[in-house]
């Protein structure tokens, strides 16, 4: 469903060119759960932006469900994004002083649902992430892990095919991080949700079924993880 062929992304910085992506090729099938790993500055976020149709490559081909993004203008790109992709970020990106419920309802604003329907869907999404009893709490009344759950509820409320998470456990302690991985695993198993997450933590990455490593904008390895860690098991370095 995701097909990337020889992607490059070049940023012009004054007289300097930064090659954030340098010939990356891969395919990701519907329903996979994948980690993208690499050092800081290796191009992970740039790659996520392209996968998520927030940006387009400088060269190469990228297609989502057999639609080439090169053929789409900005408004079509935004439509694909809204319909097919849910985003989760390291810093949660929730609206402050706004209840969990309203934060989760936000992506439904322009989807043509009635107020009642939006509220029902948002409530269900919060229940799915285990926060059915926190709908009226604002972000500053929630722990970091709970805030990330709200952000995940917001990402899934539109029922997107693909969930993209950029360092979703990066701002959390390791125990809470594992709980978030447990949630991603559940969404993946229960709904066959495609989950693609970026992490620099190899322990987090080993909760997924495939690990793609990137360095200097190039994919340096792409391996199946035959024995993903089940979230909730005690941390053992291996
Ligand atoms: N908007 C931008 N303008 C210029 N350079 C950028 C921009 N975004 C990223 N870069 C550069 O591209 C490279 C890859 O960045 P990024 O994809 O954010 O890496 P990562 O997420 O792996 O840390 C870095 O050298 C970064 O400085
Ligand atoms: Mg990044």
19 neighbors 9 (Cβ within 8 angstroms) = yes
Nearest residue (CA) to ligand 1, atom 2: 11
Ligand that comes closest to the CA of residue 16: 1
Nearest Cα to 10, choosing from 21, 25, 24, 23?
21
- Measured from the CB, is residue 42 less than 6 Å from ligand 1? yes
Ligand that comes closest to the CA of residue 24: 1
108 three-class SS: helix
- Residue of 8, 14, 46, 54 to test ligand 1 pocket, by largest number of atoms within 8 Å of CB: 46
- Measured from the CB, is residue 44 less than 6 Å from ligand 1? yes
Q: Is 192 left (phi over 0), alpha (psi -120 to 50) or beta?
A: left
Confidence label for 71 from pLDDT (cuts 50, 70 and 90)? confident
Helical (H) or strand (E) element with 219: strand 218-224
- Measured from the CB, is residue 11 less than 6 Å from ligand 1? yes
The predicted structure's pLDDT at residue 75: 92
Kindly give the number of the ligand 1 atom that is closest to the alpha carbon of 214.
22
Confidence label for 237 from pLDDT (cuts 50, 70 and 90)? low
Q: How many angstroms is it from 44 CA to the middle of ligand 1?
A: 8
Q: How many angstroms is it from 118 CA to the middle of ligand 2?
A: 32
Angle at 154 between CA 163 and CA 121, to 5 degrees: 110
The predicted structure's pLDDT at residue 191: 84
Neighbours of 91 (CB within 10 A): 13
Q: How far apart are CA 142 and CA 96, in angstroms?
A: 11
Question: What is the tens place of the pLDDT at every residue in 41-58?
Answer: 999 999 999 999 999 999
Q: Cite the DSSP H helix spans in 157-210.
A: 174-191, 202-205
Q: pTM (2 decimals)?
A: 0.94
Kindly give the number of the ligand 1 atom that is closest to the alpha carbon of 9.
12
For 32-57+73-224, CATH number out of 3.40.50.300, 1.10.3720.10, 3.50.50.60, 3.40.50.280 equals 3.40.50.300
- Measured from the CB, is residue 20 less than 6 Å from ligand 1? yes
Q: How many angstroms is it from 18 CA to the middle of ligand 1?
A: 8
Assigned token pair, 31: 């329903």
Q: Report the side by side order of strands in the sheet with 218-224.
A: 85-89, 162-166, 194-198, 33-37, 210-215, 218-224
214 neighbors 40 (Cβ within 8 angstroms) = no
- Residue of 16, 20, 216 to test ligand 1 pocket, by largest number of atoms within 8 Å of CB: 20
The label of the residue with tokens 């990330």 reads 148
- Measured from the CB, is residue 7 less than 6 Å from ligand 1? no
Q: How far apart are CA 157 and CA 126, in angstroms?
A: 9
Q: How far apart are CA 26 and CA 30, in angstroms?
A: 13
Average pLDDT for 33-44:
96
Residues 6+ apart with CB under 8 A from 217: 8, 9, 19, 20, 21, 22, 23, 24, 42, 43, 46
Assigned token pair, 92: 């949660």
Question: What is the tens place of the pLDDT at every residue in 104-161?
Answer: 999 998 777 889 999 999 999 999 999 999 999 999 999 999 999 999 999 999 999 9
Q: How many angstroms is it from 43 CA to the middle of ligand 1?
A: 6
231 or 188, greater pLDDT: 188
- Measured from the CB, is residue 38 less than 6 Å from ligand 1? yes
153 neighbors 125 (Cβ within 8 angstroms) = yes
The residues spanned by each domain of the chain are: 32-57+73-224
């Amino acid at each position: 469903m995701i097909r990337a062929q020889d992607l490059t992304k070049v940023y012009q910085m004054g007289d300097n060119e930064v090659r954030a992506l340098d010939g990356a090729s891969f395919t990701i099938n519907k329903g996979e759960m994948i980690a993208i790993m690499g050092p800081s500055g290796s191009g992970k976020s740039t790659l996520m932006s392209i996968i998520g149709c927030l940006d387009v490559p400088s060269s190469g081909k990228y297609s989502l469900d057999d639609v080439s993004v090169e053929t789409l203008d900005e408004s079509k790109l935004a439509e694909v994004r809204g319909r097919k992709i849910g985003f989760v970020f390291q810093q949660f990106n929730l609206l402050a002083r706004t209840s969990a419920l309203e934060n989760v309802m936000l992506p439904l604003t322009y989807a043509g649902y009635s107020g009642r329907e939006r509220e029902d869907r948002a409530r269900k999404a919060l229940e799915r992430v285990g926060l059915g009893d926190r709908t009226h709490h604002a972000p500053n009344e929630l722990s970091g892990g709970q805030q990330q759950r709200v952000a995940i509820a917001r990402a899934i409320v539109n029922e997107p095919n693909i969930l993209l998470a950029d360092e979703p456990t990066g701002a959390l302690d390791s125990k809470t991080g594992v709980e978030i991985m447990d949630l991603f695993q559940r969404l993946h198993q229960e709904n066959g949700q495609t989950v693609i997450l970026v992490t620099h933590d190899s322990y987090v990455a080993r909760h997924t079924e495939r690990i793609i490593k990137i360095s200097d904008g190039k994919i340096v390895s792409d391996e199946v993880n035959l024995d993903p860690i089940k979230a909730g098991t005690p941390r053992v370095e291996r």
